Amino acid sequence: MLNEQGTLETDLPAPIRAILAHTGKRRSFLRDEPVRNIIRSGISGIQLAVNLTSYRSLPLSCLEGLLLKIDGEEIDVSDARLLLNGSEHRFADLSGLSHLWWFILDSGAIFVPCPRPLSPGKHQFDATLITVEPYITAGRFSFYHGDSRELMVNEERSAKE
């Protein structure tokens, strides 16, 4: 029950307004959080905050790949790492991790080694997570979950182990 301004009528009970206003979990790959220049285990790189894009939780073996462009330039992600629930996994090693799961409500991060830090300020990030949905029984299909947004890069370069 929306009024002319497109907002919910206030005469509905609070629980009903809450149900009608609920939009669910945001499923975009990139989260609207600042990108960090960091040093992780002695390697310089950037860290992006990410979400799982699937409609259901997935074993890590269903994450087939990652594509990334920053300000239109393709970035080498051959040594990129998924940071999830306190663990770190190279994308190249995910195919063997069917026993580890990324639950849809868990936020994660991607660490991408870069030889030089990104300059502070806004940058355009175009990222694609490539997944296989094991629940689809008609065959094995790769799904490309692209996201594009302008994200802020922080000034500091912090060390992470």
Show the domain range for 145: 28-160
Instruction: Tell me if 79 is assigned to some domain.
Output: yes
Instruction: Tell me if 20 is assigned to some domain.
Output: no
H-helix segments, 10-142: 14-21
Predicted pLDDT of residue 104: 85
Instruction: Tell me if 106 is assigned to some domain.
Output: yes
Burial class from Cβ neighbours inside 10 Å (0-12, 13-18, 19+) for residue 102 reads buried
Q: List the one residue out of 59, 80, 78 whose CA is nearest residue 132.
A: 59
Predicted pLDDT of residue 135: 76
**Number of domains present in the structure of the chain:** 1
In 3-state terms, what secondary structure has residue 118? coil
Instruction: Tell me if 111 is assigned to some domain.
Output: yes
Instruction: Tell me if 43 is assigned to some domain.
Output: yes
Distance between CA atoms of residues 57 and 51, nearest Å? 11
| List of E strands, the chain | 35-40, 43-50, 58-59, 63-70, 73-74, 81-84, 87-90, 101-102, 108-113, 121-132, 142-160
Instruction: Tell me if 16 is assigned to some domain.
Output: no
Predicted pLDDT of residue 56: 85
Instruction: Tell me if 1 is assigned to some domain.
Output: no
Phi, psi of 81, rounded to the nearest 5 degrees? -125, 145
pTM above 0.85, yes or no: no
In 3-state terms, what secondary structure has residue 41? coil
Predicted pLDDT of residue 127: 96
Predicted pLDDT of residue 122: 96
Instruction: Tell me if 10 is assigned to some domain.
Output: no
- Which residue positions in the chain have pLDDT lower than 70? 1-26, 139, 156-161
